[in-house]
Each structure stands twice: as C-alpha cells, then as structure tokens.
C-alpha cells in the first residue's frame, strides 16, 4: 500500500476513520445539504475520493476546534458552511 510509505499506522487509521465518517454523513445527508455540496463538487470535476478527502480535512479541523476550544457541541451549520467554502 502506497500510504504506508509516507504515513504511519495511526495516521492511516485516522484517515480511514474520517473517510468512514464522511461516507456516513453523505448516506444520511447529515448535516442537511452535505450530499448536494458533494454532488456540486463532483460536477466541477473532482473525483468522489478527492471530495471526500477535502470533506475529511474540514471535518478533522472542526473536531480539533471542538476539542481545543471551549465549545460544548459540534456546530453543523459552521461545518456545512466550511464545506460550501471549498467550492
């Protein structure tokens, strides 16, 4: 596996977890509108994996914000706006 060349096991597992979370969000369309943003980005020429990778990066950033700030809950609206900003 090419990823093993650059990433350690922990990084690979984190990436897989994040991509699985994105798959779940897309299948549930939660937050509401994520599936539409996904399709818009694919229509702009990105592959499904590229879009999922970008979404995962934003999701990871929001998780870090949640852990490092004095924020009590995940802000779905903020997250969706960040995804829309990728366009």
pTM metric for this prediction: 0.87
CA–CA separation, 35 and 73 (whole Å): 22
| pLDDT of residue 1 exceeding 60 | no
pLDDT at res. 42 = 98
Taking only the tens place, the pLDDT of each residue in 29-48 is 999 999 999 999 999 999 99
Taking only the tens place, the pLDDT of each residue in 50-86 is 999 999 999 999 999 988 887 788 999 999 999 999 9
CA–CA separation, 14 and 22 (whole Å): 12
pLDDT at res. 11 = 85
């Amino acid at each position: 596996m090419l990823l093993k060349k650059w990433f350690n096991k922990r990084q690979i597992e984190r990436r897989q977890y994040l991509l699985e979370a994105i798959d779940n969000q897309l299948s549930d369309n939660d937050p509401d509108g994520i599936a539409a943003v996904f399709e818009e980005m694919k229509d702009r020429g990105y592959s499904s994996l590229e879009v999922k990778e970008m979404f995962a990066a934003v999701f990871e950033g929001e998780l870090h914000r949640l852990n490092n700030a004095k924020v009590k809950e995940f802000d779905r609206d903020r997250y969706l706006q960040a995804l829309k900003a990728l366009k």
